[in-house]
Amino acid sequence: MGRKTLETLTESMFYVLMALLHRPRCGTEISDFVSAITQNRVRLGPGTLYTILAKFEEERLIRETAVEGRKRTYALTDTGLERYQEEIARLRSCLADAEQEARRDEQDGTQVLPGGCPQF
């Protein structure tokens, strides 16, 4: 069985949805929000940002709310909010798996090296 569209979001996609949680924003505001909340760890160039926005609009995760010249403002839809919440649940499951594995390693006396190879 194939995966549904946007079943797993990229980090950039996740932060774009997060940027729209509390209010509509234009592209520049979205980019600034993502840079600020990630302390510049995630930076969205225009090509990446507008590709994501177009895909999200196509999938009805966001909608355009205003156009002023070249400035376009976007808002999260109910479908977008649902997808954001699903992604949070997925990420929490990933973290729970990692924590469970770390506890197992502690119990077994296994030490994971920086390269990812266990040391016994």
Q: What is the pLDDT of residue 1?
A: 47
Give the burial class of 48: count Cβ atoms within 10 A of its Cβ; 0-12 exposed, 13-18 middle, 19 or more buried.
middle
Q: 27 near 54, Cβ under 8 Å?
A: no
Cα–Cα distance, 8 to 59 (Å, whole number): 14
Q: Tokens 């040391």 correspond to what residue?
A: 119
Q: What is the pLDDT of residue 104?
A: 82
Give the total number of structural domains in the chain.
1
Q: 52 near 13, Cβ under 8 Å?
A: yes
Q: Does 31 map to a domain?
A: yes
Q: What is the pLDDT of residue 62?
A: 98
Give the CATH number of the domain where residue 31 resides. Answer: 1.10.10.10
**Domain range enclosing 95:** 11-107
pTM for the whole structure = 0.83
- Phi, psi torsion values for 36, nearest 5 degrees: -70, -50
Q: Does 3 map to a domain?
A: no
Q: Give the alpha-carbon dihedral of 43, 48, 53, 55, to 10 degrees.
A: -140
pLDDT along the chain (120 residues), means of 10: 70 98 97 97 95 97 96 97 96 92 78 56
Q: What is the pLDDT of residue 120?
A: 43
